[in-house]
Amino acid sequence: MIKVDQELIPIRERFAQEYNLSKVLKKWNHPEKNIPTINVVGTNGKGSTSFLLSQNLKQKYSKVGLFISPAFIYHNERIQINNEMISDQDLRKYLAMIEEDIQEYKLTFFEIWTLIMILYFNDQKVDIAVVEAGIGGVKDSTNLMSDQLMTLLTSVSLDHTDVLGADVEHILKQKLGIVKPKTILIISIDNLKYKKTIDKILQVKDIKVIWAKKFVDPIYYQQGNKGLVFETLKILEIKNYDLTIIPFLGRYTELKSSPKWVIDGAHNLDGIAQLIQTTQKQNWQPIVLFGSSSHKNHQEILALLKQNFTKVFITNFDHLKSWDIGQINIANKVKDWKQFLIENNDKDILICGSLYFIPLVYEWFYNRG
């Protein structure tokens, strides 16, 4: 497996004025048309929902594709069949196949991954694919999956406002824009507060809308995600489901139990609010260590954390997207998070924030001497 700290795909532009993947797919004779797809969009919970759904679809389908992002430990995580990651050999093979396309059409980082996924799934003749959007919906490269069976909308909140818009209505328009006519849209009950806005956006679309109920789970913010999965499985007539499957790493992952250490990739205001509800239901009051990427709504997130936890610390981390804690107005700053964790080894700790930070903590924990 190829670790994420190894360069595989050069970090090209993540956003562009013009996206050209559709032109490349035309050149390849539209392989995306051969992949029956369940699109997953939203702000929080896309990864957990996609992973859990893919696990259960194996009850009915022989080959289930899964496309998720970002990768946690290995680049290969992004593209899976029956929850087995694409091999290093195949990953490098497809990269070589599209090298000229990448240069000629100036594909962005996410377009490259989407193209590899489409070509691989098509060659492997998957029966169905669960495809998680990167950011948004309308402009997201996963919007090119034309054989759409249904779309799942997870919890929506303000995030990536520089790309999607400064208010929830603009963000919802972007995300719901991925829904194709005459398909099914399943909406997380977490979005019920936006029902009027959603109804307004959908009034011109010829689709069937289903609101999923919560599915009881000890991790509060997984209730909406599991409700989406349950509703999807019901529509697909899959009865032998298992929603107790633990979601993939970094979503309320317990590193140790006594004292309790948990890592969680909650990195925006809504994600942090739901994480707090989980800790409150467990009557757990840990030390909080928060590391964020830049361009997030730091002050509101930190204010919410400080309202609910006695001790909140912030830290930077070794990644180009890490924030500069020197610019943040908070007293408890940690310059060396590894040393901080060593010194507080006997205390309960919740480590949360950027999905670029959380994998670093996970790897350090299991590889430390």
Q: Is the pLDDT of residue 105 over 70?
A: yes
pLDDT exceeding 70 applies to what percent of the chain? 93
Q: Is the pLDDT of residue 165 over 50?
A: no
pLDDT of residue 296: 63
Q: Tell me, yes or no, whether 83 and 203 share the same domain.
A: yes
Q: Is the pLDDT of residue 260 over 80?
A: yes
Distances (CA, A) of 292 to 30, 182, 250, 287: 39, 40, 14, 16
Q: Is the pTM of this model over 0.85?
A: yes
* CA 219/CA 253 separation, integer angstroms: 11
- Tell me, yes or no, whether 10 lies in a domain: no
Distances (CA, A) of 267 to 62, 120, 157, 286, 333: 35, 31, 12, 18, 18
CATH value at residue 300: 3.90.190.20
pLDDT of residue 369: 61
Q: Which parts of the chain fold into alpha helices (H)?
A: 21-27, 46-57, 88-97, 99-104, 109-124, 161-164, 168-176, 195-202, 222-235, 269-281, 298-308, 337-343, 358-367
What is the average pLDDT score of the chain?
A: 90
Residue that wins the pLDDT comparison between 10 and 186: 186
Counting Cβ atoms within 10 Å, is residue 211 exposed (0-12), middle (13-18) or buried (19+)? middle
Q: Is the pLDDT of residue 245 over 80?
A: no
pLDDT of residue 11: 63
Q: Tell me, yes or no, whether 40 and 149 share the same domain.
A: yes
* CA 364/CA 359 separation, integer angstroms: 8
Residue with token string 């609010």: 273
pLDDT of residue 16: 58
pLDDT-derived band at 164 (thresholds 50, 70, 90) equals: very low
Convert the pLDDT of each residue in 180-214 to its tens digit.
Answer: 999 999 999 999 999 999 999 998 778 999 999 99
Q: What angle do CA 212, 218, 223 make, to 5 degrees?
A: 15
**Of the candidate ranges 20-24, 138-142, 365-369, the one whose mean pLDDT is the lowest:** 365-369
* CA 36/CA 127 separation, integer angstroms: 7
Q: Is the pLDDT of residue 3 over 60?
A: yes
Who contacts 310 (Cβ-Cβ below 8 Å, separation ≥6)? 285
Q: Tell me, yes or no, whether 191 and 331 share the same domain.
A: no
- Tell me, yes or no, whether 312 lies in a domain: yes
Q: Tell me, yes or no, whether 258 and 212 share the same domain.
A: no
- Tell me, yes or no, whether 1 lies in a domain: no
Convert the pLDDT of each residue in 169-179 to its tens digit.
Answer: 888 998 999 99
Q: Tell me, yes or no, whether 227 and 259 share the same domain.
A: no
Q: Tell me, yes or no, whether 50 and 191 share the same domain.
A: yes
Residue-by-residue DSSP string for 154-197: -B--S--HHHH-SSHHHHHHHHHTTPPTTSEEEEEGGGGGGHHH
- Tell me, yes or no, whether 164 lies in a domain: yes
Q: Tell me, yes or no, whether 179 and 231 share the same domain.
A: yes
Q: Tokens representing 112?
A: 């490259």
pLDDT of residue 154: 95
* CA 147/CA 65 separation, integer angstroms: 14
Distances (CA, A) of 255 to 44, 264, 267, 289: 22, 11, 19, 14
Mean pLDDT of 219-234: 92
Q: Is the pLDDT of residue 295 over 80?
A: no
Who contacts 256 (Cβ-Cβ below 8 Å, separation ≥6)? none
Mean pLDDT of 54-71: 96
**Of the candidate ranges 82-91, 234-243, 268-277, 359-368, the one whose mean pLDDT is the lowest:** 268-277
Question: Contact, 189 vs 153, CB < 8 A?
Answer: no
Q: Tell me, yes or no, whether 204 and 283 share the same domain.
A: no
Q: Tell me, yes or no, whether 31 and 143 share the same domain.
A: yes
Last residue of a domain, one of 204, 235, 266: 235
- Tell me, yes or no, whether 244 lies in a domain: no
Convert the pLDDT of each residue in 78-101 to its tens digit.
Answer: 999 999 999 999 999 999 999 999
Mean pLDDT of 318-330: 87
- Tell me, yes or no, whether 91 lies in a domain: yes
Write out the residue range of the structural domain in which residue 358 sits: 253-367
